[in-house]
Amino acid sequence: MYKAKAYSAASATAPFAADTIPRRETTERDVQIEILFCGICHSDLHTVRDEWSSVMPTTYPCVPGHEIVGKVTKVGSAATNFKPGDLVGVGCMVDSDHSCPHCHDGLEQFCNNATFTYNSADKHGTAPVTYGGYSESIVVDESFVLRVPANLHLAGVAPLLCAGITTYSPIRRWGDLAGKKVGVVGLGGLGHMGVKFARAFGAQVVVFTTSPSKREDALRLGAHEVIVSTNDEEMKQHAGTFNFILDTIAADHDINAYINMLGRDGNITLVGAPESPLQLSAFALLFGRKSISGSLIGGIAETQEMLDFCGEHNITSDVEIIPIQKINEAYERLVKSDVKYRFSIDMSSLKSE
């Protein structure tokens, strides 16, 4: 075991502060990674503030971060896929049981024994729970380490490990969207990635937003058209014309308004998670044989596919790079949606601590 510099929160109301955390020594299947950048996900904020206590109570001290990009510094004797110096990424999971049907199907995110990157039981016993990427280094089973294309901007790659795969997976799974009409509800950290992926797959991309001020940015990101969802006339003009809609909104909203936008056999997939149950009109689904579904990140193979796709199409997240010392300010800004479109922490700033 060795000690690594990190930033942690001591309680749900405590600010982040410099800390040192234990990391296990590299076992035979492990890869040790020097963390270069770590994205800030809204899940980090929910976890740190124990806002999901009824489902996933937080153990403190908490070191979040599951959008990790770094450089391999050491590999175990049986780890053959990586070598020191490789650019790699780590997402929301660092291990699973490797044996259940979900793992065999490449859907490790649904494994009942998955080990998440932070605030998950640490089966190695190094600490009470796993610690995430707000740290100078991490040790991960090589099966959960991903190759990062060398041509991409590394700070912008970090959010791909969560926001990227969260939006890529349902878009990819829905089938050939070339020439199809695809809607993206919301233009935030998830929504802006949904726009980029849908455009890269050749879809006719339309952004739904409540903010007319976001029109210009949506078009810059790749949307062909923008609908202000509070404008009844704009909504009526497009009713029944969409093949697929990606709903990224995590706040309470009227899902039926978007179901009405779908054409026959259209689907709306939720990747946002509102706190309260959504009111759903059965008739909105019945007339048109429409469907509603949900999607949770992606398996390791699909996440690697996503990164390779990003390398081929030069896709990264739009980020604001910050030093770790500004993490508390960044969280306050995140609550206000005051970022375009993700924060990415330059972890070299931790060296000064």
> In the structure, what pLDDT confidence band is assigned to residue 276 with cuts at 50, 70 and 90?
confident
**Segment 199-225 mean pLDDT:** 96
Class of domain 2-162+298-352 as given by CATH: alpha beta
**Segment 21-25 mean pLDDT:** 96
Going by C-alpha positions, the residue among 120, 131, 129, 127 that lies closest to residue 96 is: 120
Domain segments of the chain as ranges: 2-162+298-352, 163-294
- By residue count, the chain amounts to 353
- Percentage of the chain lying above the pLDDT 90 cut: 94
CATH number assigned to the domain with residue range 163-294, chosen from the 4 options 3.40.50.720, 3.30.70.20, 3.10.310.30, 3.90.70.10: 3.40.50.720
pLDDT exceeds 90 at position 117: yes
The confidence score (pLDDT) of residue 273 equals: 85
Mean pLDDT, all residues of the chain: 96
Amino acid at position 347, single letter? M
Tokens of 171: 């878009």
The confidence score (pLDDT) of residue 335 equals: 92
Q: Note whether 75 and 82 are within 8 A (CB).
A: yes
**Segment 79-105 mean pLDDT:** 96
Q: Note whether 167 and 194 are within 8 A (CB).
A: yes
Q: Tens digit of pLDDT for each residue in 240-253?
A: 999 999 999 988 99
Long-range (24+ apart) CB contacts under 8 A made by 233-239 are 235/260, 235/261, 238/206
Q: Tens digit of pLDDT for each residue in 299-341?
A: 999 999 999 999 999 999 999 999 999 999 999 999 999 999 9
pLDDT exceeds 90 at position 44: yes
pLDDT exceeds 90 at position 274: no
Element (H, E) at 329: helix 327-335
Q: Characterize 59-85 residue by residue with b for buried, 16 or more Cβ atoms within 10 angstroms of its Cβ, and e for exposed.
A: bbbbbbbbbbbbbbebbbeebeebeee
pLDDT exceeds 90 at position 292: yes
Better-predicted residue by pLDDT, 56 or 182: 182
> In the structure, what pLDDT confidence band is assigned to residue 275 with cuts at 50, 70 and 90?
confident
Angle at alpha carbon of residue 43, lines to 39 and 49, rounded to 5°: 115
289: alpha, beta or left? (left if phi > 0; alpha if psi -120 to 50): left
Element (H, E) at 35: strand 30-40
Weakest-pLDDT range from 37-46, 110-119, 246-255, 269-278: 269-278
> In the structure, what pLDDT confidence band is assigned to residue 353 with cuts at 50, 70 and 90?
confident
pLDDT exceeds 90 at position 175: no
pLDDT exceeds 90 at position 55: no
